[in-house]
Amino acid sequence: MTFSSFAAPFAPEIVLLAGTLLIFALDVLKVRRIEITGGIAVAATLAGIALVVADLGFAPLAFLATIPAAQIDALPAAGAAPLYAVTSLGLVFQAIFLLAAFFVALGSTSRPSDERGASIFFGLLLLATLGMLLVAIASDLIFLLLAIEVTSIASYLMVAYTRTDARGVEAAMKFFIIGALSTVLSFFGASLLFGAYGTTNLYLIRAAGTAVGYPTLVLLGYGFLFAGLAFKVTLVPFHAWAVDVYDGAPHDVSAFLAGGTKKMGIFAFFLVFLGPVLAVDAVGQSGYGLFGGSLALGPSFQLALGVIAVLTMSVGNALALLQKEMKRMLAYSSISQAGYMMIGITIGSAPALGGATLQVLAHALMKTGAFLVVSAVAALGVGPLIEDYRGLGTRRPLLGAAFALMLLSLAGVPLTIGFVSKFVLFSAAVRAQGWFLWLAVAGLLNSAISVFYYARVLKAMYFDPSPVPDPALAGAVVGGAGPPALPVGGLGYGRAAAIALIAGLIVLFGIDPQLVLGPIQAAAYHFVAAGA
């Protein structure tokens, strides 16, 4: 194998790594203007999107494809234990991660151009995205967990990147403690699975199914892994940290955490738990005392995952109803959306995984967009409470309309991607028969509840009178000594472009879902076929 054929599948990762190193090198040389560092981040993520989409078979960009089509979704040779394998579902997830990172980078270029620590923020953004891309091609448990840690460690630091904002540093501390706990649980679970299976390769683990002599080790291993990964995806009861961290982090970082890094955990769930979910039963051989015995894994795993999914969406929604602050409300809504995504892995069929992937794409767009709007609105001088948004829709019609569109999409209103993704996901649950039907019922009820709190924001924006004096009208020019007003009504080009692009994609995919649904369903089919 030549070096170029080894490196070819890693083209997007290499671009991101080069961007990270370039930004950090420029930082040492004291070139720290946001136009330069932000420009590098935007260019690197955009190049990454082009490379990944080309590998997915998007014809106009075919000349950029670096991975031979035969290598995608190829099963490893019998007995081989590759560390990474390119799957088309992994490529879809890479595209989603890069899209979220691109929008966050684009939106962040509108921050003050001499902001302290900005180059650190952009460098860490690319580094965290690099870790997420590695998660999407992992086929080994340790490779997967280390890739997750690349992202986690970069994101702890991103939350505290200003170093002077007490709320940000406090959020980083909480994030670090919970992250460290989750890491320890994941690695402990992985070590037990290594003991039971004699390998950490996910293909070999899936092939072995549950035909190992140590069901207790398998069960404990998956239990610890579940707890560790559940922290990353903010599943109830492992969700409490997310609200504080999203609330305390700088707005653009919250956008990346909610829209980007959380989705990495969903794909990790797909990789790790598809095997046990599809395994119908297991009979352990005795002879190892404490670790012998027998166990039927598949149905019990599905039941446990299903219960957690319903709990997550219900608790997230119930608490979102009670919030007065915009970011905390969005954080709880993010938790409940993670519950919807878990329906996919609970069922484990190709349509369900496809629906969950579509939901991940939808949520990445909607939540990144919503947090970028919060960031833009905060830059205009509007407060953090929902009631501070009074009259925004009439005073700032375009920004208000974009935010309203994102909230309607989160609520699942037709003609938006949020409706399509929920429709595909819930119909997969209905088609799966059995008690999975109740997952669809729970999802539909929760969607109905969620309309209440999104509508509350819409009511504040469009039907409540504006506060006087109105900060949203004052723009960034508060007093004579402040920074000059940014273009596009105080938003700045980058933020306005990012919000407009996201709103456009939400409507485009809502009107013509086949643009994304076809490739995603095909990718999910290949993924499940390789796992069975």
Q: Which residues bind other proteins (CB under 8 A)?
A: 142, 146, 149, 153, 156-157, 160, 163-164, 166-167, 169-174, 176-177, 180-181, 183-185, 187-188, 190-192, 194-195, 198-200, 240, 244, 247-248, 288-290
Q: Could you tell me if 141 and 203 are in contact, meaning their C-beta atoms sit under 8 angstroms apart?
A: no
Q: How far is the CB of 73 from other proteins (least distance, A)?
A: 25
Q: How far is the CB of 202 from other proteins (least distance, A)?
A: 14
Based on its alpha-carbon atoms, the radius of gyration of the chain, rounded to whole angstroms, reads 23
Please list, in sequence order, all residues whose beta carbon lies within 8 angstroms of the beta carbon of residue 5, skipping any fewer than 6 positions away.
none
Q: Look at the block and give the residue holding tokens 């409706």.
A: 419
Distance CA 5, CA 2 (A): 5
Q: How far is the CB of 164 from other proteins (least distance, A)?
A: 7
Q: How many CB atoms lie within 10 A of CB 150?
A: 18
Q: How far is the CB of 482 from other proteins (least distance, A)?
A: 25
Distance CA 230, CA 2 (A): 39
Of residues 328 and 396, the one with the C-beta less far from other proteins: 328
Q: How far is the CB of 185 from other proteins (least distance, A)?
A: 8
Q: How far is the CB of 81 from other proteins (least distance, A)?
A: 8
Of residues 153 and 295, the one with the C-beta less far from other proteins: 153
Nearest CA to 129 out of 16, 266, 288, 228 is that of 16
Of residues 331 and 361, the one with the C-beta less far from other proteins: 331
Of residues 88 and 162, the one with the C-beta less far from other proteins: 162
Of residues 142 and 441, the one with the C-beta less far from other proteins: 142
Q: Could you tell me if 277 and 345 are in contact, meaning their C-beta atoms sit under 8 angstroms apart?
A: yes
Distance CA 355, CA 524 (A): 9
Q: How many CB atoms lie within 10 A of CB 293?
A: 17
3-state secondary structure labels for all residues of 445-488? HHHHHHHHHHHHHHHHHHCCCCCCCCHHHHCCCCCCCCCCCCCC
Of residues 153 and 415, the one with the C-beta less far from other proteins: 153
Of residues 240 and 296, the one with the C-beta less far from other proteins: 240
DSSP states along 272-306? HHHHHHH---B----SSGGG-S-B-HHHHHHHHHH
Of residues 234 and 447, the one with the C-beta less far from other proteins: 234
Of residues 79 and 465, the one with the C-beta less far from other proteins: 79
DSSP states along 52-67? HHHHTT-GGGGGG--S
Q: How far is the CB of 242 from other proteins (least distance, A)?
A: 12
3-state secondary structure labels for all residues of 15-53? HHHHHHHHHHHHHHCCCCCHHHHHHHHHHHHHHHHHHHH
Q: How far is the CB of 290 from other proteins (least distance, A)?
A: 6
Distance CA 366, CA 452 (A): 17
Nearest CA to 419 out of 428, 430, 408 is that of 408
Of residues 56 and 193, the one with the C-beta less far from other proteins: 193
Q: How far is the CB of 174 from other proteins (least distance, A)?
A: 7
3-state secondary structure of 529: helix
Q: Could you tell me if 210 and 282 are in contact, meaning their C-beta atoms sit under 8 angstroms apart?
A: yes
Q: How far is the CB of 11 from other proteins (least distance, A)?
A: 25
